[in-house]
């Protein structure tokens, strides 16, 4: 009985470990030497991200579209009924949750 419980707890732990590794690898972002902010954002389209702006403000939401000079975030965190249009030139960084 104890052996069976130990074996099932080990199997459960291993399944959690492998599933969390798979999720982390799905969210992993790789950038190339020639990557630009725009091409990175295009890759992240449809995902929840945080943009760090030149003003120091952070906006978190779902990246819905990336244009030539503008980015659109939907369902802003803390402002779920609002969208944001941000100029690419005004973005200092992109924060991505990878786990």
Fold topology of 31-99 = SH3 type barrels. (2.30.30)
Domain boundaries in the chain? 1-30, 31-99
Edge-first strand listing for the sheet containing 58-66: 84-87, 70-74, 58-66, 48-53, 91-96
The torsion angles phi and psi of 80, rounded to 5 degrees, stand at: -60, -25
pLDDT at res. 31:
75
pLDDT at res. 30:
74
Residues of the chain short of pLDDT 70, as ranges, are 1-28, 99
User: From residue 12, how far is each of 3, 6, 15, 71, 92 by CA, in Å?
Assistant: 14, 10, 5, 42, 42
Q: How far apart are CA 11 and CA 14, in angstroms?
A: 5
For residue range 29-45, what is the model confidence (pLDDT) as tens digits?
A: 777 788 889 999 999 99
Q: How far apart are CA 54 and CA 90, in angstroms?
A: 5
Partners of residue 71 on adjacent β-strands = 66, 86
pLDDT at res. 24:
46
**What's the burial of 50, exposed, middle or buried (CB within 10 Å: 0-12/13-18/19+)?**
middle
> Which residue reads 């402002």 in tokens?
79
């Amino acid at each position: 009985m104890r052996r069976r419980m130990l074996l099932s707890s080990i199997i459960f732990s291993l399944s959690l470990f492998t599933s969390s590794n798979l999720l982390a690898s799905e969210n992993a972002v790789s950038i190339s030497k020639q990557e630009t902010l725009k091409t990175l954002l295009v890759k992240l389209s449809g995902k929840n991200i945080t943009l760090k702006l030149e003003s120091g403000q952070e906006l978190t939401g779902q990246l819905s579209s990336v244009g030539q000079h503008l980015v659109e975030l939907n369902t802003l965190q803390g402002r779920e009924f609002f969208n944001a249009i941000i100029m690419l030139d005004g973005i200092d960084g992109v924060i991505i949750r990878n786990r």
